[in-house]
Copies of this chain bind each other. A is one copy, B any other.
Amino acid sequence: MAARKKKRSLAQPRRVPGRRPGRANSRGVIVDAARARFARDGYEATTIRGVASDAGVDPSLVMQFFGSKEGLFVSMIEQTTAMSDSVFAVLAGPRSGMGRRLTMAYLKLWEDPVSGDKLRSLFRAAAGSPRASRMFQGSIEKTLMRSDLPAAMRLPFLLAVSHLLGTAIGRYIFELPVLANPSLNELVSLISPAIDGYLGTTSPVPTRRTRSR
């Protein structure tokens, strides 16, 4: 990602009234515009020019930040998969009730209006085109490698997460009433035994005396 040299100082961008101020903010505005375009038009039909127009910046600035449409897409994936930290954090906690906490942490990301919108956009774009699927694959692989997950736990963990992904797709992408109508708590209670099964962890016995968050 070679940044082109600019005459104007990058540290002191000229403020245009009504325009977005600052480089860091421009970057965020561009990624947000890209996310919306990728979700609506798909990876293949999205253009740098269209994203720049939506973000209110010059296409050359998009190129300067991200290098290419592929670079822009990968940045969007990485910003979104960074949200998975809350899911990995569960794996470092106590084993009792881990299935419930993992299920809750994962589905909460989809349930929240802000992170849920990002996940839906990413998923639609990543699944919609084989090229986008490959970039998504690469990012998941990197995330797995960076995690502390022992090699022997990778398959059980991905079976658990793929279960949660499939349920999230049914509830938040296809919005099937049978999966979309139950409360989040109800769904988590039904799913967590399967997740505990994969993790080899245990569900606390659900009695009135047990803390059941």
Residues of A in contact with B (beta carbons under 8 Å apart): 40-42, 44-45, 123-130, 133-134, 136-137, 140-141, 144, 154-156, 158-159, 161-170, 173-179, 182, 190-191, 193-194, 197-198
Cβ of A146 to closest chain B Cβ, rounded Å? 14
Q: Establish whether residues A129 and B124, one from each chain, have CB atoms under 8 Å apart when the complex forms.
A: yes
With beta carbons under 8 angstroms apart, the residue of B128, B154, B178 that contacts A127 is B128
Cβ of A22 to closest chain B Cβ, rounded Å? 33
CA–CA, A182 and B154, complex, Å: 12
CA–CA, A174 and B123, complex, Å: 11
A190/B156 contact (C-beta < 8 A), A167-B166, A173-B133 known:
yes
Q: Establish whether residues A158 and B178, one from each chain, have CB atoms under 8 Å apart when the complex forms.
A: yes
List the 5 shortest-distance A-B pairs measured between CB atoms, nearest first. A166-B166, A128-B128, A194-B194, A163-B163, A162-B166
Q: Establish whether residues A158 and B129, one from each chain, have CB atoms under 8 Å apart when the complex forms.
A: no
Which B residues are in CB contact (< 8 Å) with A128? 42, 124-125, 127-129
